Amino acid sequence: MTMITIDPDSPVPKYKQIIASVIRAVEKGILKRNEQLPSINEMAEEHYLARDTVEKAYNELKEKGIIKSVRGKGYFIQAPDNKKIRVLLVLNKMSAYKKLIYYSFLETLGDNATVDLYIHHYNAVLFKEIWEENKGKYNYYVIMPHFFEGLEKIDVLALLEEIPKNELILLDRDIAELTGDYLAIFQDFEKDIFRALESLDDLLQKYTELVLIFPGDGNYPSEIIRGFRSYCVSYSKDSRIIEHAWDEIIRPGSVYIVIQETVLTELIKKVRQTPLTLGQDIGILSFNETTLKEVLADGITVMTTDFETMGRTAAALLLDGKKIKVKNPFTVIRRNSL
């Protein structure tokens, strides 16, 4: 049977591998109630196993109530059908924005699925451990593929290629090099940033330079930088890219584009220490909407993807069995900081 996987190099006894394979197949709905299993001899022959090994596995499955034996007929699945889809959701971190995705994803799935959540913390090694521990156990693998830039990215691509494409869903970011047809709900960071800045050009005209504060820890897509530079070149804007704001000297005529919340707070404090007026002498444009930004410093202008829509779309298309790529909505909310 194709759902039975035996790794001859694994330290796990082969009879336990049979047990785990059958249980996974039942949980994923591959094996259904009253479906017949191969005979002990057939299973042993197919997988080059001793007859006693298969018999031991079948006896333990009987004790667990997973299968039953019918005299003269063979072995049959006894466990009730698992009607819920099993989903493994792997995020890069658990922030306020990721919680919006997570809860809208759960709400849209409703009682149709059970979802197990893991966090890989941008670490490809940890992601590899999560995948190897859980491969074959779920109907769908929903992955947010944000990882530290560098050599590990190649490993991530190879790992993602291992996941059956009809079970893979990419969230927040697509990977152009990945082959096959799979579901992806993504941001187009480069084009989104360019178009957002372009839509704010009437407000940006009163400033002399744009400053992108882009952390150097490798946690954020480099496409953000490309979109920022493309806009500045296209519209002849003076620009700078810095990694932090702690030593920045605030001067009139600058617009700061901020990714991290901690940097936003630090920048607002610095502006308050000057006689400059936010939204007139100095501008601030922040990534990602939160309720706090609506009231912070009399309103912070933001450019943001719709995180709730991302979660809802992923869940709805998963339930429909779609294998398409959908760009998530990206909007600008104008407030007094610009």
Q: How does pLDDT run across 211-253, given as a tens digit for each residue? A: 999 998 878 899 999 999 999 999 999 999 999 999 999 999 9
Q: What is the DSSP string of 127-179?
A: HHHHHHHHTTS-SEEEE-----SSTHHHHHHHHHHHS-TTTEEEEE---TT--
Q: Where in the chain is the domain with CATH 3.40.50.2300?
A: 85-186+307-328, 190-305
* pLDDT confidence tier of residue 276, bands split at 50, 70 and 90: very high
Q: d(Cα 120, Cα 127) in Å, to the nearest integer?
A: 5
Per-residue pLDDT at 152: 52
Q: d(Cα 208, Cα 251) in Å, to the nearest integer?
A: 10
Q: d(Cα 50, Cα 68) in Å, to the nearest integer?
A: 21
Task: Just give the CATH number of 190-305.
Answer: 3.40.50.2300
Structure tokens at 233: 């070149």
Greater pLDDT, 337 or 132? 337
| 178 dihedral zone (left: phi>0; alpha: psi -120 to 50; beta) | beta
Task: From 97, 30, 23, 100, select the one nearest 64 (Cα to Cα).
Answer: 23
Can you name the residues that pair with 239 across neighbouring β-strands?
Answer: 210
At the top level of CATH, the class of 85-186+307-328 is: alpha beta
Q: Where in the chain is the domain with CATH 1.10.10.10?
A: 14-77
Which residue bears the tokens 């979109």?
Answer: 227
- Per-residue pLDDT of 145-159, as tens digits, reads 998 755 455 588 899
Whether the predicted pLDDT of 183 surpasses 90: yes
Per-residue pLDDT at 65: 87
Per-residue pLDDT at 138: 86
**Main-chain phi, psi angles of 269, to 5 degrees:** -60, -40
Task: From 161, 157, 114, select the one nearest 138 (Cα to Cα).
Answer: 114
Distances (CA, A) of 333 to 76, 180, 201, 301, 311: 59, 36, 14, 6, 21
Fold annotation for 14-77: Arc Repressor Mutant, subunit A (1.10.10)
Q: d(Cα 172, Cα 185) in Å, to the nearest integer?
A: 6
Q: d(Cα 223, Cα 145) in Å, to the nearest integer?
A: 14
Q: d(Cα 219, Cα 275) in Å, to the nearest integer?
A: 34
Q: How confident is the model over 18-24, as a mean pLDDT?
A: 87
Determine contact, residues 105/144, Cβ cutoff 8 Å: no
Q: d(Cα 292, Cα 190) in Å, to the nearest integer?
A: 26
Compute the mean pLDDT over every residue in the chain, rounded to the nearest whole number.
92
Per-residue pLDDT at 151: 46
pTM comes to 0.77
Angle at 103 between CA 259 and CA 98, to 5 degrees: 20
Determine contact, residues 89/115, Cβ cutoff 8 Å: yes
Q: How confident is the model over 262-277, as a mean pLDDT?
A: 95
Per-residue pLDDT at 269: 95
Q: What is the DSSP string of 232-244?
A: HHHTT-EEEEES-
- Per-residue pLDDT of 38-70, as tens digits, reads 999 999 999 899 999 999 999 999 998 889 999
Whether the predicted pLDDT of 166 surpasses 80: yes
Q: What is the DSSP string of 49-96?
A: --HHHHHHHHHHHHHTTSEEEETTTEEEE-SPP--SEEEEEEES---H
* pLDDT confidence tier of residue 13, bands split at 50, 70 and 90: very high
Residue type, 238: D
Whether the predicted pLDDT of 82 surpasses 80: no
